[in-house]
Chains A and B, each alone.
Chain A
Amino acid sequence: MKKTTYRGIEKKQARWGVAFVVPSVLFFCLFSFYPIINAMFTSLFDKRILSLAAPKFLGLGNYIYIFKSASFWNSMRATLVFTLGTFIPLLVFSLMFATFIYNICGRRSRGFFQIAYYTPAVLSSVVAAAIWLLILAPPGLGNQVLNWLCRTPGVDRKWLANGTMLQFSTMLVYFWKYIGYFVILFITGLATIPPTIYEAATIDGSSKWQSFWRITVPLLKPTILLVSVMAMLQCLKTFSTQYLFTQSGGAAQDPINVITLNIYETGIRNQRIGRASAMSIVLFVIMLVLTFAQFKISKSDDVDY
């Protein structure tokens, strides 16, 4: 007896869903998943980028080497300093600017501010770094404007020539470039909060300050989480600003030798692709753990309306 199978509408729709998802899955496998697996595999070998000989199996040798390496720990320090110094201001100021634009400005001026903040995000990181190199060079605009404002003619702030200032300069470029992008995300999040909640709070005598902390921040939590995860991952992956500053700007490498720059130097310039793969896997694990931790923390006090 022939067995009749009943396919529900959900299953039919699911087929279409699969069809739509397949291209992106393929894309992900080709450009993300495959390189990750490949890097994990390569990190176990003493592989030199130009060598045609079979690479020597080292097991965890590359990992042991990098964890003993002063250069790697300097890169971890540089990455941590850059991430904390950029990610926290990015999160705080993008929320501040978004709230300012959303609440204070009219529709026209809101559009103007959105475009103004977002414009640097359109530039490629390389172009942004190149522009800032001109500004931060000793005879550049950075010194000129500050000296004019502070009435301190001829002072060189050593934007690129002092370790601390150099780290600050890379943070400044990144902050300038990405602030607009996160402002737009926050404005989108703010638009999803029903205005009736603010109206009810105002009738109950709530001040703007109270409304911000008691309504806006709790209800904006999903967006804050999204922005914080995205900003943190972006900061951990920073590369082009540091690369341009050291290659074209003549800045010292050690203070801003973030882990991605170290991976590039180790894998491409020094040809040790196995060791560079081990570093990239360590970075991947750090990013994974931090993202997981952020999700865990944010889930503990979810707010709904």
Chain B
Amino acid sequence: MKKAIIILTIVALIAPMALFAQGSKEASGPITIKFWTHEDVNRNPLELQYIAEFEAANPNVKVEYTTQASGKMADIVQTAFAANQGPTIFNLPISDEYAYIVNGRVAPVDAKAAGYADYQAIKSAYVDGTLDSVTVDGKIYGLPLELTNWAILLNKGIFRDAGLDPNKDYPKTWEDMVAVSEKIIQRDGDIITRRGFDFRYGYYLEWLVPMVEQLGGKLISDDGKTAIVGDDAWLKVLTFMQQWGPNGKNLGSSTYTAARKLFNKNNGDIAMALTGYYQTARISEENPEFYASGDLMVIPFPQFKDAVKEVANCYYGHFYMVNAQASKAEQEAAWKLIGYLLSHGDEYLDKAALPQPTKKLFESPEYKAKPYTDVFSADMEKAHIMYYSENSAEMQKLLKSAVESVMLSGVSPEKALATLKASAQELIDEN
């Protein structure tokens, strides 16, 4: 009996290892591509249509297209990769994707399969610098689905309702933003019922870092050895956030519904939201009346009055990448599909408001003639790509903790900065 139990235990312990172990695959016969991407009400139908066309032209390829909420994508993809069950094609923001490149989890672009002669042809097709974040040791590991920066979407109707002229009174500086928000905001006692503007909480690498940079601070020093450079700049931004929150001027907080979600509804809840060009297509889809009303306006990312440098919101890329553990045949088919999808850059722009940073598109009169692209393009000139590294997620979390502690937990900006400095330094020292 004891023997039986021992054998049974050993089998039970070894079985999972056999079940979960998996090396790289070599496919034969029909090819199945698992394609995981985030939900986008405008882009997903478009891609399904291209996939159907691709499958018709390549009958040996079957594409399983799966969409997930964008906030969940990073966890889902990573968990799948950890179990060696990652999708063949996926996309994430570059801050999440970079770890896949440095850990050898994604395959370099197969230039020929993607429709290019070689890497030089790919580089020539895209706006200078846009592939830098996915280029390691001369190899390109992803092709951009979109290159996005955020500006401020403004609802003119709410401005007028608050007695403001949106064309003259829109906020140019962060100090203006506070003053304008104080004029627009409506409260029932302490509870806000209408906000002027609110930040995009949780995405601090994208908008908090440029605010600090406007004042001369930096996230990481140029030599990459020191974290959180320029105490005065960081202190001013943390104090600004403290004053913005419920324990200061009570102009907004992360505990209210996300500004960009309310903005589309145009139901008098919020006048301004920080978001990308893609939001215009979502408004057009979700609330065509508002889109057509002429009350939608886009303004540049504000600067501090005493800014020493003009810096706009960081831009980020979503790159399509291919799993290095997929078979060669699957990788080739995957790059062929990606090449086919991205060859429709004009339609991604038209139907989903997703600008792919090809020279052809960015320099086209059609792109320049699109409403609001002028503001986003001008801001992009003043911006740089967001911080990306293997530890981006940890850095994002440290910034989140610092902002939350001053806004919500009553921690002084000085103490929050000291904690942030120590943790961020430890993080970059560890890597």
Interface positions of A (Cβ within 8 A of B): 14, 18, 22, 25-26, 29-30, 33-34, 37, 48-53, 137-139, 143, 147, 153-156, 158, 160-163, 247, 249-255, 265, 268-271, 273
Contact = CB atoms under 8 A, between A and B. Distances in A.
Interface string B76-102: 001101100000000000000001100
Interface string B251-276: 00111110000000000000000000
B29 interface: no
B191 A139 contact: yes
B405 interface: yes
B66 interface: no
10 contacts: A25-B12, A34-B13, A49-B78, A50-B81, A50-B105, A52-B104, A52-B105, A161-B255, A161-B408, A270-B393
Given A26-B8, A52-B103, 18 more contacts: A22-B8, A26-B12, A34-B12, A34-B13, A137-B255, A137-B256, A137-B257, A156-B189, A158-B246, A160-B255, A161-B246, A161-B253, A163-B408, A249-B255, A250-B254, A252-B405, A252-B407, A270-B397
B16 interface: yes
A67 B414 CA distance: 26
Contact of A250 (B81, B189, B255): B255
Contacts of B9: 25, 29
A249 B133 CA distance: 32
Contacts of B99: 50, 271
A137 B269 CA distance: 15
Nearest to B427: A270
Given A25-B8, A50-B100, A156-B191, A252 B408 contact: yes
A77 to B, nearest CB: 14
A147 B390 CA distance: 48
A255 to B, nearest CB: 6
A26 B9 CA distance: 8
Q: Would you list the 6 A-B pairs with minimal beta carbon distance, nearest first?
A: A154-B189, A250-B254, A29-B12, A252-B404, A156-B190, A50-B103
Contacts of A247: 71
Contact of A156 (B74, B103, B246, B409): B246
B410 interface: yes
Nearest to B84: A52
A30 B9 CA distance: 10
B431 to A, nearest CB: 11
A142 to B, nearest CB: 11
A154 B78 CA distance: 44
A154 to B, nearest CB: 1
Nearest to B269: A139
B226 interface: no
Given A18-B1, A271-B78, A253 B255 contact: no
Contacts of B190: 138, 154-156
A259 to B, nearest CB: 16
Contacts of B201: 250
Nearest to B190: A156
Contacts of B103: 48, 50-53
Contacts of B79: 268
A194 to B, nearest CB: 39
Interface in B6-20: 8-9, 12-13, 15-16
Interface string B178-218: 00000000011111110000000100000000000000000
B252 to A, nearest CB: 10
B422 to A, nearest CB: 9
B400 interface: yes
B401 interface: yes
B90 to A, nearest CB: 13
A163 B407 CA distance: 11
Interface centre among A25, A34, A247 (most CB of B within 10 A): A34
A153 B189 contact: yes
Contact of A50 (B16, B78, B246): B78
Contacts of A49: 78, 81-82
Contacts of A52: 103-105
A253 B399 CA distance: 12
A153 B404 contact: no
B397 A255 contact: no
Contact of B409 (A34, A249, A252, A270): A252
A268 B81 contact: no
B391 interface: yes
Interface in B102-116: 103-105
Contact of B393 (A25, A137, A153, A269): A269
A305 B270 CA distance: 67
Interface centre among B104, B256, B409 (most CB of A within 10 A): B409
Contacts of A34: 12-13, 16
B15 to A, nearest CB: 7
A184 to B, nearest CB: 33
Contacts of A53: 103
Nearest to B404: A252
